Amino acid sequence: MGIAPSTTATAADVEADHRDIATNRVIIQAVNVSKVYQSSDGEKITALTSLNLEVSENEFLVIVGPSGCGKSTLLKLIVGLLPVTDGTIYFHGQPVRGPRTDVGMVFQEPVLLPWRTVRQNVLFPIEILRRKDRDYVEESDRLLTLVGLSGFQDKMPYELSGGMQQRAAICRALIHDPTVLIMDEPFGALDAMTRDEMGAELLRIWQHRRKTVIFVTHSIREAVWLADRVVVMTARPAKIADIIKIEFERPRTDKMQFLPQFGRYVEEIGDIVAGRRAKGLLCQD
């Protein structure tokens, strides 16, 4: 992927890079979760079935799987945007019963409001939560500086490149200091070079801000590069085919992608996604 560590990282960033960031404290549990949709003609469509998953505090978890297998559905169930059909999802030990305010979400498109400035877009969740904007202006500026957008606070979205808009969207997701950051193919619409840059930027932000991240992607190489663990889902009705722990040190260096182990991870996950291998030699629960 050609990702190099940021040259603007602070001493605190570097220190955080070398810590074992993920803890053993489980904060999200999906227990025997199933989701069934009913189509307009009355047909029942099972998106997920008997799915079990645990996510630890500060973990960077990446989900991959065939198109249409229910990855985005799983994200919506975790944050309470959709109800489960069967089973239970627990967030900090409490069943999820509706939309949660302690999560931040980043989508494939930045979805910035075109009539608002960058700072106003970042502050938009504060308005939704009925908090006072003035209490978060300094925080919005700190976040924008963190992602390299210092000086762009008063620009309009159309004045920013696609990558810059997505950086603003990440700031918007972080402004209310959520426990969990949910990212649904956030770099899918970007060109390859910008995507690589955003991957490196996201790792730097994550290591600085210490959030639990659940990230969906179709890029297996991106998954291996970013993740502590990669969850591989089957075709619909989706279950978890395997969970692979990525045994690379942090910070991730550009040279790691040329290691034989990196290639083996990519091949292993690709085989599982394609159904060529149900259980891999590198897979660890």
Which CATH number characterizes residue 248's domain?
Answer: 3.40.50.300
Q: Is residue 116 part of a domain?
A: no
Q: Is residue 76 part of a domain?
A: yes
Q: Is residue 205 part of a domain?
A: no
- pLDDT string in tens for the chain (285-residue length): 433 333 334 434 433 443 455 667 999 999 999 999 887 787 888 999 999 999 999 999 999 999 888 899 999 999 999 999 999 999 999 999 999 888 999 988 899 999 999 999 999 999 988 888 778 999 999 999 988 899 999 999 999 999 899 999 999 999 999 999 999 998 887 888 888 888 888 888 888 878 899 999 999 999 999 999 999 999 988 899 999 999 998 888 778 888 999 999 999 999 999 887 655 444 333
Q: Is residue 45 part of a domain?
A: yes
Range of the domain at 47: 10-102+212-285
Q: Is residue 48 part of a domain?
A: yes
Q: Is residue 173 part of a domain?
A: no
Task: Tell me the whole-structure pTM to 2 decimals.
Answer: 0.85
pLDDT at position 11, please?
Answer: 38
SS3 string, the chain, reads CCCCCCCCCCHHHHHHHCCCCCCCCEEEEEEEEEEEEECCCCCEEEEEEEEEEEEECCCEEEEECCCCCCHHHHHHHHCCCCCCCEEEEEECCEECCCCCCCEEEECCCCCCCCCCCHHHHHCHHHHHCCCCHHHCHHHHHHHHHHCCCCCCCCCCHHHCCHHHHHHHHHHHHHCCCCCEEEEECCCCCCCHHHHHHHHHHHHHHHHHHCCEEEEECCCHHHHHHHCCEEEEECCCCECEEEEEECCCCCCCCHHHHHCHHHHHHHHHHHHHHCCCCCCCCCCCC
Q: Is residue 187 part of a domain?
A: no
pLDDT at position 2, please?
Answer: 37
Q: Is residue 117 part of a domain?
A: no
pLDDT at position 23, please?
Answer: 65
Domain count, the chain: 1
